[in-house]
Amino acid sequence: MNFDLTEEQVMIKKMMTEFADKEVAPFASENDREEKFPWDIVKKMGELGIFGTVIPEEYGGGGFDYISHAIVAEELGRVDSSVRGIYSVQISLVALTILKWGTEEQKKKYLPKLANGEILGCFGLTEPNSGSDVVSMQSSAVRDGDYYILNGNKMWITNGGVADIAIIFAKTDKSMGHKGITAFIVEKGVDGFSSKDIHNKLGLRASNTAELILQDVRVPKENILGNEGDGFKVAMSALDNGRYTVAAGCVGLAQGCYDVAKKYAVERVQFGKPIAGHQLVQELFADMIVEIEAGRLLVYRAGHLKNKHLPHTREVSMAKLFCSEMVNRVAYKALQVFGGYGFSSEFPIERYYRDARINTLYEGTSQIQKLIIANRELGISAF
């Protein structure tokens, strides 16, 4: 077993730490306050190849390994979860899904542009009345010659209002349960396809979240991702990738919470010494760092399995479950270190605290992760 990062991973970490500190962190607070989508940062990420990481070089990506992918998500998540979310969706939910399920034509058409940030993608699975229970979705796709006609609404879609392409899941056969779902690539601008931004979120306020509306949208049959009826499998494999970068982002955000709390604790003096010198404050730091490091190891283990192309659904769900709950505990404790100042926007900890909350909810709630893990353990599905 080797716990060391490779030279390439060390270099990527260094580059991403600098990028996050210089190009992302200074704008995070204002973007959060004003709900401003960080177009400038997205443009720079595209130019630097940050959206290409794990995409193979033949499709315009960087050909990085999955630990490096986690490191990028970690470093972005350390300073701005909204930016980390944009990265996660673009690569994990969209590009990697096209890489795994797309035809050669689809890969050549979309992957280089996703990798260099020329286009943004989004992933439309959730609906107003279908969240955890994906199979209950109402969106439909009806064959009409060389086209499918899509109707339905998708809810809470990250990048939904800014994306150029969307992976949309819809039922091609309502009688077939999970085998009746199909995935489509839908391009922005096509008649009947629109979006409505969702505002005033608790966290991730600089990230775009939208409802997608599909009214008689004509999608050519060449835009099916995988085969007709493969949609559920496509969605689950995408979520295996998505949850991985969510977990890594949680480790990064928890580290960000820890770092700002540490700086404050050594500077703030109460009872004649830095608060870091009080035993109960030290307990907060010990609790935080043990959890952060445990989370990081769970993420890297899942990444190791991904690098080896071994089954990893159980390990990714474990990492997602632990890290998403962990980051909320860490954010709570880090904010406690700040006392009343933690309750103001003077320090980034209040944004980190709000941003932590989403992680136990999206890409499968904590309850759903537990059911996935227990199913693997017991061989009995609770769904």
- The encoded tokens of residue 353 equal 């605290």
According to DSSP H, which parts of 216-278 are helical?
231-267
- The encoded tokens of residue 92 equal 């994990």
Q: Output phi, psi for 167, to 5 deg.
A: -90, 115
Q: Is position 255 an interface residue for ligand FAD (rule: CB under 6 A)?
A: no
Question: Given the rule CB under 6 A, which of 66-74, 155-163, 188-196, 292-300 is the region that contacts ligand FAD?
Answer: 155-163
Identity of residue 309: H
Q: Is position 123 an interface residue for ligand FAD (rule: CB under 6 A)?
A: yes
- The encoded tokens of residue 267 equal 């500077």
Please, is 97 exposed, middle or buried when counting C-beta atoms within 10 Å of its C-beta (0-12, 13-18, 19+)?
A: buried
Q: How far is the CB of 270 from ligand FAD (least distance, A)?
A: 37
Question: Given the rule CB under 6 A, which of 41-49, 105-113, 124-132, 258-266 is the region that contacts ligand FAD?
Answer: 124-132
CA-based R_g, the chain, Å: 21
Q: Is position 32 an interface residue for ligand FAD (rule: CB under 6 A)?
A: no
Question: Given the rule CB under 6 A, which of 5-13, 63-71, 153-161, 185-193 is the region that contacts ligand FAD?
Answer: 153-161
Q: How far is the CB of 18 from ligand FAD (least distance, A)?
A: 28
Q: How far apart are CA 300 and CA 31, in angstroms?
A: 30
Select from 181, 189, 186 the least CA-distant residue to 221: 186
Q: How far is the CB of 383 from ligand FAD (least distance, A)?
A: 6
Question: Given the rule CB under 6 A, which of 3-11, 250-258, 301-309, 354-362 is the region that contacts ligand FAD?
Answer: 354-362
3-state SS, residue 94 = helix
Report the DSSP beta bridge partners of residue 273: 270
Q: Is 58 a catalytic residue?
A: no
Q: Is position 125 an interface residue for ligand FAD (rule: CB under 6 A)?
A: yes
Contact with ligand FAD (CB under 6 A): which of 52, 62, 121, 131?
131
CB nearer to ligand FAD: pick between 198 and 297? 198
- The encoded tokens of residue 119 equal 């286009």
Q: Which of residues 33-92 bind ligand FAD (CB under 6 A)?
A: 89
Check 75, 211, 350, 363 and give the catalytic one: 363
Angle (deg, nearest 10), helices 25-33 and 349-356 = 70
CB nearer to ligand FAD: pick between 53 and 369? 369
Q: Is position 124 an interface residue for ligand FAD (rule: CB under 6 A)?
A: yes
Angle (deg, nearest 10), helices 81-88 and 39-47 = 50
Q: Which of residues 168-207 bind ligand FAD (CB under 6 A)?
A: 201, 204
Q: Find the helix or strand (DSSP H, E) in which 214 lies.
A: strand 209-220
- Active centre residues (catalytic): 363
Where do contacts with ligand FAD occur on this chain (CB under 6 A)? 89, 123-126, 131-132, 156-158, 201, 204, 209, 358, 361-365, 367-368
